[in-house]
A and B are shown apart, each in its own frame.
Chain A
Amino acid sequence: MWIESTIAMRFLRQGKAQTLLILVGIAVGVAVIVFVVALIAGLQANIIERTLGTQAHIRIEAPEEVNRIAPPPPGALQLVLEDRRAQSLRPINNWQQLRDVLERLPGVTAVSPVVSGPAFGRRGDAVASVALVGMDLSRYLRVIPLDRNMIDGRLDVGSGNAVIGRQLANDLGLRTGSKLRLEAGDGRDAIVNVAGLFELGVRELDARYVYLDLKQAQSLLGLPGGVTVIDVTVDQLFAADQVAAHIAGLTGVHAESWMESNAQLMNALSSQSMSTNMISFFVAISVALGIASVLAVSVSQRTREIGILRAMGTRRGQMLRVFLVQGAVLGLVGSAIGALAGWSLVAAFNNFGPGLFYIPMPPALVPAAMALATAAGVVAASVPASRAARLDPVEAIRYG
């Protein structure tokens, strides 16, 4: 390989202008790929983080109540007119055991039982419809970082205390230390002390959520000892649907992953990824075509030299490799420059950009882009290289 690389490097150095131009071309292409891929990855991570800041990865509920229809006697035809049953607020059976099973599942990092149901919040004449959320605070915080979203007071849900959203506080004219009357129907009501205010940044939640401890919420909702939802966090975000399916299959409960609850978001994310891949693909193609055309010109310019090298004993395979090495070197060096440029763009975006979100640099991106460009260089070089290898020395020397 020594002589092939030596000739290849000399050829590249001799055609300085061509080499520099194509290196700039490759570098621009790779910089675009690196920056766009990092930007979109960062954007998606940001969107997902914001979405999942207020949601569990998997939400487990009791199975739906369905009508049981007796099978017809043999030979009889049965016509069924079925009304769906109203889904009453009901607890998950044996939730303590279920919680313990979930905690031992591989890939599950946090499990938080929650009792949740509708109620009215009242202060004087003002009434607001609210969602009661009763939870075990230490478990709940591992699923949703409520502590990071507190804007006033303290995060305390025990012994007659509640934490409510900023919007709800505005609507009912409440502030930290105020009293709030909660009515859950059937004469079950309670007066709680507003211990603190949170702001999750989602209007719907900030206007409706009232956090209580499990016991208070259970007694208000008439479900003593029961929970209606188990929130689960997993370590592999994008494996949540598989874990959810596993849980449903294992325990018979209804388990929904964040991907199902946010199908539209998932759709948008995958469309975005697809367009990133398309951009990368077409940029890679144009980079490869650039390398191919530069080397094709080089083969034409050097036809005589190739002929003389063949005459003095250079084998076809060696001639082929001389040009493949040039393609690989162009791809490698161009992409190294391009990766550096792309990385600088990312750094510039993070430091001087609009500051909307932070783009982390995926560690595999630079080596992957360089490997891709080098491979593209070799593939692109293969056409001119095989033309060089096939040159008939007689023709090449006479007419080259």
Chain B
Amino acid sequence: MAEPREVMRLENLRKSYNVGRPNEVEVLHGIDLRVDSSDFAALVGPSGSGKSTLLNQIGLLDTPTGGELYLLGEPTSRMDDHARTAARGRHLGFVFQFHHLISAFTALENVMMPMMVSHGRPDRETSDRARSLLADVGLEKFADRRPTELSGGQQQRVAIARALVTRPALLLADEPTGNLDTRTAADVFKLFRRFHETHGCAVLLVTHDPRLAETCDRTITLVDGRIVN
């Protein structure tokens, strides 16, 4: 694997809700965090500790109220929606608890979707890449199925393939196995591990499951909006 490099760095990142109103509440109290390309990390913490909020900041889905977030060395706080959207599409991959495939498209088209929204009609290379990712998750035979014709575990595997099709620098997963039975969860988890090793992308998993967290190389624990380890 190549020399580890910095993918994401948070400096004193803060996030408040209801800013300027009487019920203003700060959820993240100055987070400092660095994620390298070699990281396979679990983000753990009790409910309400701010895990999802932090993940949304890291995923550029939300804007922090203070501090700075560097993606591949670039500060992001001054980016407009257009630039943040472009950065998300190019450098980040998302896997959510409820797989969220686009039901009007086949499995293969869902995998190609991030490429299609940024580059338009998929070329040969894109569809080959998507097919090989589907093969990697063991679903090459299901390429032309609609999401409704797939099981929950299969859908989640398609979502993982989709998250990797742009070769992101950082893969973010929010409770990716929370909705799956133990065995399927273990399979999905192995996939993350394999992609981390073969594609060299950093992985950050949010999870409740302490056993899952233990198998990660690094555990980031969040309590009441602060990192405690």
Contact = CB atoms under 8 A, between A and B. Distances in A.
B85 A310 contact: yes
A316 B96 contact: no
B61 A311 contact: yes
Contacts of B166: 313
Nearest to A397: B96
A19 to B, nearest CB: 12
A13 B94 CA distance: 27
Interface stretch (A215-223, A301-309, A364-372): A301-309
A313 B114 contact: yes
A393 B61 CA distance: 6
Contacts of B85: 310, 313-316
A293 B166 CA distance: 36
A14 interface: yes
Contacts of B102: 7, 305, 308-309
Given A10-B105, A316-B85, A309 B117 contact: yes
Nearest to A13: B104
A318 B117 contact: yes
A394 B61 contact: yes
A166 to B, nearest CB: 73
**Contact size class for B?**
20 to 34
Contact of B103 (A305, A313, A398): A305
The DSSP consensus for interface residues of chain A is: helix
A13 B103 CA distance: 11
Contacts of B103: 14, 305
Given A13-B104, A394-B56, A312 B114 contact: yes
A2 B88 CA distance: 21
B136 interface: no
Interface in B91-142: 94, 96, 98, 100, 102-105, 113-114, 116-118, 120-121
Which of B86, B94, B102 is the most central at the interface, judged by chain A CB atoms within 10 Å of its CB? B102
B215 to A, nearest CB: 26
B48 to A, nearest CB: 14
Contacts of A393: 61
A392 B84 CA distance: 13
B187 interface: no
Contacts of A305: 100, 102-103
A353 B41 CA distance: 79
A313 B90 contact: yes
B61 A308 contact: no
B99 to A, nearest CB: 9
B105 A312 contact: no
B157 interface: no
B156 to A, nearest CB: 13
B86 A313 contact: yes
A316 B81 contact: yes
Given A308-B96, A394-B61, A313 B121 contact: no
Interface in B186-214: none
B96 A313 contact: no
Contacts of B98: 304
Q: Among the interface residues A6, A11, A309, A313, which one has the most CB atoms of the partner chain B within 10 A?
A: A313
A98 B190 CA distance: 102
A7 B120 CA distance: 11
B104 A313 contact: no
Nearest to A304: B100
A234 B61 CA distance: 69
Given A11-B104, A308-B96, A311-B88, A394 B116 contact: no
Interface string A304-341: 11011111111110100000000000000000000000
Nearest to B89: A313
Contacts of B86: 313, 315
Contact of B117 (A11, A312, A392, A394): A312
Nearest to B96: A397
B88 A313 contact: yes
A6 B103 CA distance: 13
B117 A311 contact: no
Interface in B59-97: 59, 61-62, 81-82, 85-86, 88-90, 94, 96
Contact of B118 (A304, A310, A313, A394): A313
Interface of B: 52, 56, 59, 61-62, 81-82, 85-86, 88-90, 94, 96, 98, 100, 102-105, 113-114, 116-118, 120-121, 162, 166
6 contacts: A313-B89, A313-B166, A314-B117, A315-B86, A392-B62, A393-B61
Given A6-B116, A315-B82, A394-B62, 20 more contacts: A2-B121, A13-B104, A14-B103, A305-B100, A308-B96, A309-B117, A310-B85, A311-B88, A311-B94, A312-B94, A312-B114, A312-B162, A313-B85, A313-B90, A313-B114, A315-B81, A316-B82, A394-B56, A394-B61, A398-B52
